[in-house]
Every structure is written in structure tokens, then in C-alpha cells.
Amino acid sequence: MKFIPDKDILLFKSCLVNVEYPGIESSTSYIFDRIDVEYYVDERQSCCTGLGHYYDLFDQLSTTALAARNFQIAAETGHKNIAVMCATCYAILKKSANILNQNEEARNKVNKILDDSNLEKMEYNTYDMDPVKNIFHVAEIFFNKRDKISSLVKVDLSGFRVATHHACHYCKVHYNDTIEGVRDPNLIDSLAAAVGVETIGWYDHKRVTCGAGFRQRFTNKEVSLAVTAEKLHVLKENEVEILLHMCPNCQMQFDRYQPYIENKLETEFNIFHLNISQFIALALGADPYKVLGIQTHTVPIEPLLKRLKLPFNIVDQKENAKAEKSLKN
């Protein structure tokens, strides 16, 4: 089992967390603050280029050069460990670190690019960033602190039927570094267990992609959504009520498109989609709007909260929309 740190952590911002589900970041901070994880967020950190990389728009050298800059920001601030909230950031950063450490020609090219950009101070030396010892998914940081998390649980979520969707770019790219299973992934199942929730465990299609496929969702939508729909059908057969995620792109594919697929197929799945950070934060008693950020979800989370009978000030978004409409009329 690899060593997982709990300090000197740069919490690495993700483009899709930023603008689609920012509640993943506030939930992660909420948990880190309570389980004694020392971390830092740097406003200078650029995106990993992940979406652009898999749209085939970015070239590998540019992606690697930007990674070198971000690695130096991490090192310079004394936060040499990187924790990501997005599985694609995880895969991209590890690959870039591998290239910078193993490929002298590429490293020299990257350093020349940095020199030409007046960023000599950011030059990369071999093993400034160790992809195994320094790059993690936040779920791994939680896993390392799961006993502490268990001791802080305030809300009982065990009444729901829960399944997990493990992100491909965490499990299957650098699979030798993946913890808690690759072909039968259980990392987020273990985290659900830490907050007192027994998931359904293995199910047919458990390891199948969300279907986003980067370009596929936009240029091949029918094919992309067919893969998503297949997984949703299996989850429905298993009577799943909550699907837990560890990647904002997967969460987007399921949360944004579930109603669309329901309409097309004239069926209902009624599955809530939460990131593992949001789920743990909820179990720890975090506010749904001020921490979890459920107001950015497409499938409303309010019905889930109502079942918990918590003293939250629940906003009924559908009722609100109706009221606003009638006011306008």
C-alpha cells in the first residue's frame, strides 16, 4: 500500500468542478478542515488541459509544460503533494510527471519553453514531482483518514440504496497506483462504509465508463448517451437511489443528461448523483446550499434531503420556478 500524505497538499483546482459542481471543492475543504489535513489552494494554478488533451486539441508537449509550471507552484509554496478532485487531472498530471522524469529530451524542451517565457525559476529537475509519492485523488486522502471521518458522522444516510461509479481515469490509466481495486473498484464503497453506508457493492457494468468519452458527448451524442443509458438501466434494475461519483465529468454526464435520457426513453431512473466529497460532507452535517452546492445540480437533491428530515432550509426549486412563472404571468 502506497504512503498517502495528510499535509503539504496543494488542492488542485479542476475546470469542471470550478464551473459545474463547485460544491465538490467546498465539500472537500469542509472535510479536510475537520480531519486535520493541511492543504492550500493557489489561484495561480492553471488547468491540467485534460478536456483539451482528450479532445485531441492539445499536444502532449504543451500539456507537459503547463504541468511543470503547476508542479513548481506546488513545490515553491511548500505543498509538494497534489490532491485532485477530477480523475482526468489525476491521469494527466501523473503522465506529465512521468514524461518529465523519464524523457530527457522532453524535459529539456519543456525547460527551454519555460526559459523562453522568462520562467527560468520554474525549470524542472528530475523527480521534482514523483507521480506515485506526490500525486493523489482526494478520495485517497479521505481513505487514509477514514477512521477520523467515521468519528465525525452526524447524519444517518444508511436508509438509501447506494452504488458507486469509479472514474476510469483514476482506475484504469495508471492502474498500478490505484488503491482498492481496478477491475472490481471499491475505493468509494469503502468511503461510504466509513460514513455508515453499505453500498450494493459489485453490479454488472460497475467498471463501465460514464459514456462522456470527451468528444463523443458532443460529436457522437447518440452513441455517448447509449452507453450512459445502459449503465442507468442496470442501476435501476438494482433499485439504486444514489450513485456516488469521484469525477466531475462523470457526474456531469449522469446528472445533466439523466432527465434527457429519461425523456428519450420514456422511462424514469430517479437516481441522485453526488460526488463522494458531497456525500461525506452531508454525513458530517454540512449545509446543502452553502457547502454541498446542490443548487448547481440538474437532478434535484431536495427530495433526498426531505427524506432525511433534517432541519435544513430546503428550497423547492421546482415550486420556486412555478411560483416565479405565475408571478410573471
Partner 1 sequence: MKTIKLQNNSLKLVKDVLKDLKASPDLGIYKCVQCGMCTSVCPGASQTEYDPRDMIRRVLEDDETVIDDENIWNCFSCYTCNSICPSGNNASEINQILRQMSIDKGEGIQKIVSFSAYGDSFMELGVGSIPNTFFDVMVKDVGPEYMNLKLNIEDIRADLGLGSYILPEEAINEVESILDNSGFKNRLERIKRCKK
* Region 50-89 residues binding partner 1, contact defined as CB under 8 A: 50-52, 54-62, 64-66, 69
CB 191, min distance to partner 1, A: 21
d(CA 4, CA 140): 7
User: What's the full length of the chain, in residues?
Assistant: 329
Taking alpha carbons only, the member of 281, 322, 33 closest to residue 153 is 281
Closer CB to partner 1, 183 or 309, in the complex: 183
d(CA 249, CA 178): 19
d(CA 36, CA 206): 32
Contact positions with partner 1 (CB under 8 A) in 198-257: 207-209, 211-216, 218-220, 223-224, 226-227, 256-257
Tell me the residue ranges of DSSP E strands in 28-160.
39-40, 81-84, 135-137
CB 290, min distance to partner 1, A: 6
CB 281, min distance to partner 1, A: 11
Closer CB to partner 1, 160 or 312, in the complex: 312
Binding letters toward partner 1, positions 166-185, x by CB under 8 A: --xx-xxx-x------xx--
Is residue 119 close enough to count as binding partner 1 by CB under 8 A? yes
CB 71, min distance to partner 1, A: 13
Q: Which stretch binds partner 1 (CB under 8 A): 9-17, 78-86, 129-137, 266-274?
A: 9-17
Tell me the residue ranges of DSSP E strands in the chain.
9-12, 39-40, 81-84, 135-137, 162-164, 242-245, 272-275
Residue 200: how many other CB atoms lie within 10 Å: 15
Q: Provide the angle, in degrees to the nearest 10, between the axes of the packed helices 276-283 and 187-194.
A: 10
283, 300 Cβ separation under 8 angstroms = no
CB 161, min distance to partner 1, A: 25
Contact positions with partner 1 (CB under 8 A) in 11-40: 13, 15-16, 18-20, 22-23, 25-26, 29
191, 277 Cβ separation under 8 angstroms = no
Q: Which stretch binds partner 1 (CB under 8 A): 90-98, 139-147, 191-199, 271-279?
A: 90-98
CA 168 centroid distance within chain: 11
What is the amino acid identity at position 180?
E
72, 125 Cβ separation under 8 angstroms = no
Of positions 118, 313, 326, 329, contacts partner 1 by CB under 8 A: 118
CB 15, min distance to partner 1, A: 5
Question: Hey, is 74 helix, strand or coil?
Answer: helix
Beta bridge partners of 11: 83
Closer CB to partner 1, 112 or 307, in the complex: 112
Closer CB to partner 1, 160 or 289, in the complex: 289
Q: Which stretch binds partner 1 (CB under 8 A): 75-83, 137-145, 265-273, 287-295?
A: 287-295
Closer CB to partner 1, 87 or 304, in the complex: 87
